[in-house]
Amino acid sequence: MSEQATNPPKKYKRSPALNASIILVFLSIVLLITLAMFVSFDEVTNRFEAGKVDIVLEEPHWDPKDGDETVPNTFIDKDPTIINKEETVDTYVFLEVIVPYDDDPNLIIETAYQDNKTDAGKVVYENKTTDSNNNTVAKNKVPIYKFVATGEATGAETHQTVSKMPNDHYTGENEMYNEIQKVNPDWLLLDTIDNEDNKTYTYVYAYVFSDNLLKPLIATGKTEYPLFNSIYVQNFRERAKVENSETHEITVTPFPDPTRDYSIKINAYGIQANYLKPNNLTETKPEKVWKMLNPDYEYTETPTEP
């Protein structure tokens, strides 16, 4: 017989110290697993993505070639439209339109556009009056362009009819820009800013419901109506010759002035339509929201009676 067959196997007894070591190792493994559950929370938070505002300003009928050689007393298709490209966030939107004006008292304006008739009798207007000291001064600050709103939805063919204008084309010019809302009810004139340094008017419009509260531009949507459909170019014929009373020298300031920029500038602004107030509420008054976007906007809310 072999030795293995004749000698019984030896039995070993585990020491208490060894038993304790095994227990400690087991507890350590459990502890590490527990800690791993807690630290993995970081990866969970990374799954949240913030929504964003993503708007685009387009002019479907605008042809850049139309602006190369602008002629007075003509219409140019121009229809500012805002598109909300974001897929989840509704947005309040505003348009800012900057229009150059002229305030030279020697400016002569000729218009053939009266009462929606392009062939009506021409009216010649001199932008001249006198102040309290009998000095010749400009009667009005006359915008170079008028907006033409038709009430047609975005993408519709534009019609060359002008939104309601005052009978006197050279007074109440700012009122004329407010008339847009009567034709395109989605737009409200919020503010008119006169920048005398560069001779421009800035008109600020809000996209609103019929009650003049802000209308959200839904995700992936676009404004139903453009702010206007085209612009009308004023016929500034010339400037009057001015004679110096002492030297009798005659001078004429050219129009257009080669040193000036006569472009129309349009800016679009957007802010999320939800949660503009504490407690998950939102603001709907266009004046308040525009002040969030433009802190320089002068707006004081009328206090309500208790």
Averaged confidence pLDDT in the chain: 76
Inform me whether the pLDDT recorded for 100 exceeds 70: yes
Do the strands 55-58 and 123-126 form a parallel or antiparallel pair, or are they unpaired? unpaired
pLDDT tens per residue, range 170-179: 334 455 566 6
Peptide bond into 256 cis (omega under 30): yes
- Which residue ranges make up each domain of the chain? 55-293
Q: What is the pLDDT, as a whole number, of residue 159?
A: 46
Confidence class for position 25, pLDDT limits 50, 70, 90: low
Closest by CA position to 114, among listed 176, 163, 169, 154: 169
Q: What is the pLDDT confidence band of residue 122, given thresholds at 50, 70 and 90?
A: low
Instruction: Give the DSSP H or E segment for 122.
Output: none
Question: pLDDT confidence of 219, banded at 50, 70, 90?
Answer: very high
Locate tokens 């308040």: which residue? 288
Q: List the single range of 73-77, 118-122, 139-143, 270-274 with lowest mean pLDDT.
A: 118-122
Contact (CB, 8 A) for 285 and 291: no
Q: What is the pLDDT of residues 188-202, one digit of tens each?
A: 989 989 999 999 999
**Range with the poorest average pLDDT among 64-78, 84-98, 153-167:** 153-167
Give the pLDDT of residue 52: 81
Percent of the chain surpassing pLDDT 90: 28
Which DSSP category does 284 fall into?
-
**Residues 142, 108 contacting (CB under 8 angstroms):** no
Residue 184's pLDDT is 78
Q: Band of the pLDDT at 272, cuts 50, 70, 90?
A: very high
Model confidence at 4, in pLDDT bands (50, 70, 90)?
Answer: very low
pLDDT given for residue 199 in this prediction:
93
Contacts of residue 192, defined as CB under 8 A and 6 or more positions apart, other chains included, come to 174, 177, 201, 202, 203, 204
**Comparison of pLDDT for 252 and 90, the residue scoring more:** 90
